[in-house]
Structure 1
């Protein structure tokens, strides 16, 4: 399986991915849209401080069945702005996948005002779990490797 297909398969099957940048790891809900992990952050949504200021991040993906780390992938950060090519499809998909949304009819407008929507596009650089360094912080998602 090509690396990008592996990342797509893992991201589609899991409700969470871990995003690492600026020496911090954040577990985030996401949706796979087209060719990217898509995330809404900031405002009253999940915190990903200044993610839009980074060119790349590391995605850590686990098996939904075993919760074990399967792979890490480098991803390019692309900000999705209101009215841009990806805005409608990404935000509608995120809205559809958002659990416990309190303002379903107005969430997208709220995200446009107070949040940042990003596409995390895999670059093709993938490291399988067996090759991932084990000297990682306690809060990282690498607690189980089965």
Structure 2
């Protein structure tokens, strides 16, 4: 398994990962679609302030059972706009994976109006635990809003 496949496998197995940018760490629910971690943020969804203004972010992927940090991967931020080639498959997957969605019938239209949908496309630069600071690898990230 190559490192990019490892990121895909970890992202598919966990409904939560951490996205770091702008000196902050954000826990996010997501869906793996195609070759990217896909996230909806803003509006009444999870806060990821100004994520669309960043070119790259850092994904931290942890073991679902032990919470140990398994890999970190830089990812390119791609905004998914309504009507684009990725809009339907990404928003359909996000809608299907969203727990406790109160407005299932109107969620995608609401996201188009008030949220930002992004694809976080991992690069080939994946760091494994022996390449990540021990201080970070054995602690939970500081979660902020």
> TM-score normalised to the size of structure 1?
0.92
Root mean square deviation, CA, Å: 1.3
Question: What's the counterpart of residue 49 of structure 1?
Answer: 49
**Alignment: residue pair count:** 140
Question: How big is the shift at 1:130?
Answer: 2.2
5+ residue gaps in structure 1? 142-146
Give 1:140 deviation, angstroms. 1.6
Q: Quote the offset at 1:131 in angstroms.
A: 1.5
Tell me the equivalent position of 2:141. Answer: 140
Deviations along 1:103-145, one digit per CA (max 9) or x if unpaired, are: 0000000000000000000011110122212455x7627xxxx
Moved more, 88-97 or 61-70: 61-70
Gaps of at least 5 residues in structure 2 are none
Alpha-carbon distance, 1:26 to partner: 0.2
Contact (CA 8 Å) 2:38, 2:119: kept in 1 or not? Answer: yes
Q: Are residues 1:92 and 2:112 paired?
A: no
Question: Aligned equivalents of 2:56 and 2:135: distance in 1?
Answer: 21
